[in-house]
Copies of this chain bind each other. A is one copy, B any other.
Protein backbone atom coordinates (compact mmCIF):
# COMPACT_ATOMS: atom_id res chain seq x y z
CA UNK A 1 0.00 0.00 0.00
CA UNK A 2 1.32 3.44 -0.77
CA UNK A 3 2.24 5.44 2.29
CA UNK A 4 0.06 8.41 3.14
CA UNK A 5 1.52 11.72 4.26
CA UNK A 6 -0.14 14.65 6.02
CA UNK A 7 1.11 18.20 6.36
CA UNK A 8 0.60 20.83 9.04
CA UNK A 9 2.09 24.12 7.91
CA UNK A 10 0.64 27.58 8.13
CA UNK A 11 2.32 29.10 5.10
CA UNK A 12 -0.06 28.33 2.27
CA UNK A 13 2.53 28.56 -0.47
CA UNK A 14 4.88 26.14 1.20
CA UNK A 15 2.05 23.86 2.22
CA UNK A 16 0.61 23.62 -1.26
CA UNK A 17 4.01 23.23 -2.84
CA UNK A 18 4.98 20.30 -0.66
CA UNK A 19 1.61 18.67 -0.95
CA UNK A 20 1.56 18.85 -4.72
CA UNK A 21 5.09 17.57 -4.96
CA UNK A 22 4.58 14.63 -2.64
CA UNK A 23 1.23 13.70 -4.06
CA UNK A 24 2.58 13.41 -7.57
CA UNK A 25 5.34 11.03 -6.52
CA UNK A 26 5.00 7.37 -7.35
CA UNK A 27 4.51 5.49 -4.13
CA UNK A 28 3.32 8.38 -2.00
CA UNK A 29 0.03 10.14 -1.50
CA UNK A 30 -0.66 13.35 0.33
CA UNK A 31 -4.40 13.89 0.69
CA UNK A 32 -4.30 16.37 3.57
CA UNK A 33 -2.45 19.63 4.18
CA UNK A 34 -3.82 21.95 6.85
CA UNK A 35 -2.58 25.04 8.62
CA UNK A 36 -3.05 24.11 12.25
CA UNK A 37 -2.79 21.22 14.65
CA UNK A 38 -6.44 21.69 15.50
CA UNK A 39 -7.45 21.11 11.90
CA UNK A 40 -5.26 18.04 11.67
CA UNK A 41 -6.81 16.56 14.79
CA UNK A 42 -10.25 17.12 13.28
CA UNK A 43 -9.15 15.46 10.08
CA UNK A 44 -7.69 12.45 11.86
CA UNK A 45 -10.99 11.73 13.53
CA UNK A 46 -12.82 11.33 10.29
CA UNK A 47 -10.40 9.89 7.78
CA UNK A 48 -7.99 7.03 7.31
CA UNK A 49 -4.82 7.75 9.25
CA UNK A 50 -1.72 8.93 7.46
CA UNK A 51 1.55 7.13 8.07
CA UNK A 52 3.61 10.27 8.42
CA UNK A 53 2.88 13.88 9.29
CA UNK A 54 5.15 16.77 8.39
CA UNK A 55 4.73 19.42 11.04
CA UNK A 56 5.80 23.01 11.44
CA UNK A 57 6.46 24.42 14.91
CA UNK A 58 5.36 28.00 14.56
CA UNK A 59 1.63 27.69 13.94
CA UNK A 60 -1.53 29.64 14.58
CA UNK A 61 -3.09 28.34 17.75
CA UNK A 62 -1.42 25.34 19.25
CA UNK A 63 2.31 24.99 18.71
CA UNK A 64 3.60 22.08 16.69
CA UNK A 65 5.38 20.69 19.71
CA UNK A 66 2.24 20.53 21.74
CA UNK A 67 0.64 19.03 18.65
CA UNK A 68 3.11 16.16 18.60
CA UNK A 69 2.15 15.18 22.11
CA UNK A 70 -1.53 15.17 21.35
CA UNK A 71 -1.22 13.30 18.10
CA UNK A 72 1.13 10.68 19.48
CA UNK A 73 -1.14 10.26 22.47
CA UNK A 74 -4.12 9.44 20.29
CA UNK A 75 -2.43 7.84 17.32
CA UNK A 76 0.89 6.43 18.39
CA UNK A 77 1.54 4.77 15.04
CA UNK A 78 1.76 8.01 13.14
CA UNK A 79 5.34 9.15 12.71
CA UNK A 80 5.98 12.85 12.83
CA UNK A 81 8.72 14.79 11.11
CA UNK A 82 9.29 18.36 12.18
CA UNK A 83 9.83 20.75 9.31
CA UNK A 84 10.76 24.14 10.65
CA UNK A 85 13.18 27.03 10.61
CA UNK A 86 13.98 26.68 14.29
CA UNK A 87 17.31 25.17 15.15
CA UNK A 88 17.70 26.10 18.78
CA UNK A 89 18.36 23.24 21.09
CA UNK A 90 15.34 23.63 23.28
CA UNK A 91 12.87 23.44 20.44
CA UNK A 92 14.70 20.48 18.98
CA UNK A 93 14.83 18.54 22.20
CA UNK A 94 11.30 19.38 23.18
CA UNK A 95 10.09 18.19 19.81
CA UNK A 96 12.04 14.96 20.06
CA UNK A 97 10.94 14.40 23.61
CA UNK A 98 7.36 14.99 22.58
CA UNK A 99 7.71 12.15 20.12
CA UNK A 100 8.98 13.49 16.83
CA UNK A 101 10.79 10.90 14.73
CA UNK A 102 12.64 13.32 12.52
CA UNK A 103 13.63 16.96 12.36
CA UNK A 104 14.28 18.81 9.14
CA UNK A 105 15.13 22.44 8.58
CA UNK A 106 13.01 24.36 6.13
CA UNK A 107 15.72 24.79 3.57
CA UNK A 108 15.45 21.08 2.88
CA UNK A 109 14.68 20.48 -0.80
CA UNK A 110 11.56 18.67 -1.96
CA UNK A 111 13.44 15.57 -3.12
CA UNK A 112 15.23 15.48 0.21
CA UNK A 113 11.92 15.69 2.02
CA UNK A 114 10.67 12.78 0.00
CA UNK A 115 13.85 10.85 0.75
CA UNK A 116 13.41 11.61 4.43
CA UNK A 117 9.89 10.25 4.45
CA UNK A 118 11.05 7.05 2.83
CA UNK A 119 13.92 6.75 5.28
CA UNK A 120 11.54 7.20 8.14
CA UNK A 121 9.21 4.51 6.86
CA UNK A 122 12.28 2.31 6.57
CA UNK A 123 13.02 2.67 10.25
CA UNK A 124 15.38 5.60 10.07
CA UNK A 125 15.26 9.01 11.70
CA UNK A 126 15.78 11.74 9.16
CA UNK A 127 17.52 14.79 10.53
CA UNK A 128 19.18 17.75 8.93
CA UNK A 129 22.91 17.45 9.54
CA UNK A 130 23.00 20.53 11.76
CA UNK A 131 20.26 19.05 13.91
CA UNK A 132 22.04 15.76 14.21
CA UNK A 133 25.10 17.62 15.33
CA UNK A 134 23.23 19.34 18.12
CA UNK A 135 21.69 16.10 19.21
CA UNK A 136 24.99 14.32 19.55
CA UNK A 137 26.60 17.33 21.17
CA UNK A 138 23.92 16.98 23.79
CA UNK A 139 25.26 13.53 24.53
CA UNK A 140 28.74 14.78 24.98
CA UNK A 141 27.72 17.68 27.20
CA UNK A 142 25.99 15.38 29.62
CA UNK A 143 29.20 13.56 30.29
CA UNK A 144 31.85 14.68 32.73
CA UNK A 145 33.97 17.15 30.89
CA UNK A 146 35.49 20.49 31.42
CA UNK A 147 33.47 22.93 29.42
CA UNK A 148 35.21 25.79 27.74
CA UNK A 149 33.78 28.55 29.87
CA UNK A 150 32.96 31.79 28.24
CA UNK A 151 35.22 34.61 29.24
CA UNK A 152 32.86 36.18 31.73
CA UNK A 153 34.43 37.37 34.96
CA UNK A 154 33.21 36.01 38.29
CA UNK A 155 31.25 39.14 38.97
CA UNK A 156 29.65 38.96 35.56
CA UNK A 157 28.59 35.41 36.31
CA UNK A 158 26.91 36.71 39.46
CA UNK A 159 24.98 39.21 37.42
CA UNK A 160 23.95 36.56 34.91
CA UNK A 161 22.66 34.41 37.73
CA UNK A 162 20.63 37.31 38.97
CA UNK A 163 19.10 37.72 35.55
CA UNK A 164 18.32 34.02 35.31
CA UNK A 165 16.58 34.29 38.66
CA UNK A 166 14.38 36.91 37.08
CA UNK A 167 15.68 39.79 39.15
CA UNK A 168 15.56 43.43 38.10
CA UNK A 169 18.66 45.58 38.03
CA UNK A 170 17.66 47.04 41.35
CA UNK A 171 17.20 43.65 42.96
CA UNK A 172 20.55 42.47 41.65
CA UNK A 173 22.16 45.59 43.04
CA UNK A 174 20.64 44.85 46.43
CA UNK A 175 21.58 41.19 46.35
CA UNK A 176 25.25 41.97 45.80
CA UNK A 177 25.22 45.23 47.68
CA UNK A 178 26.43 47.35 44.80
CA UNK A 179 25.05 50.32 42.93
CA UNK A 180 22.48 49.91 40.22
CA UNK A 181 24.82 51.76 37.93
CA UNK A 182 27.42 49.14 38.53
CA UNK A 183 24.92 46.50 37.58
CA UNK A 184 24.26 48.43 34.42
CA UNK A 185 27.95 48.57 33.69
CA UNK A 186 28.37 44.83 34.14
CA UNK A 187 25.39 44.11 31.99
CA UNK A 188 26.77 46.29 29.24
CA UNK A 189 29.98 44.30 29.31
CA UNK A 190 28.13 41.00 29.39
CA UNK A 191 26.07 42.01 26.37
CA UNK A 192 29.23 42.90 24.50
CA UNK A 193 30.94 39.65 25.33
CA UNK A 194 27.95 37.50 24.46
CA UNK A 195 26.94 39.56 21.44
CA UNK A 196 23.40 40.04 22.66
CA UNK A 197 21.35 43.03 23.62
CA UNK A 198 18.64 41.97 25.99
CA UNK A 199 18.12 40.22 29.28
CA UNK A 200 16.04 37.67 27.49
CA UNK A 201 18.93 36.52 25.32
CA UNK A 202 21.28 36.26 28.24
CA UNK A 203 18.80 34.13 30.16
CA UNK A 204 18.24 31.95 27.14
CA UNK A 205 21.95 31.44 26.58
CA UNK A 206 22.54 30.69 30.19
CA UNK A 207 19.78 28.12 30.45
CA UNK A 208 20.93 26.51 27.23
CA UNK A 209 24.33 26.06 28.83
CA UNK A 210 26.05 28.37 26.42
CA UNK A 211 27.57 30.41 29.21
Contacts and interface: CB of A to CB of B under 8 A. Distances in A.
A204 B201 contact: no
A154 B61 contact: yes
Interface string A87-118: 00010011011011100000000000000000
Interface in A151-196: 154-155, 157-158, 161, 163-168, 176, 196
A12 interface: no
B135 A136 contact: yes
Query: DSSP class of A's interface residues: helix, strand, loop or mixed?
Result: helix
A62 B163 contact: no
Interface stretch (A22-30, A43-51, A122-130): A122-130
Interface of A: 58, 60-63, 66, 90, 93-94, 96-97, 99-101, 119-120, 122-130, 132-133, 135-136, 139-140, 143, 154-155, 157-158, 161, 163-168, 176, 196, 198-201, 203-204, 207-209
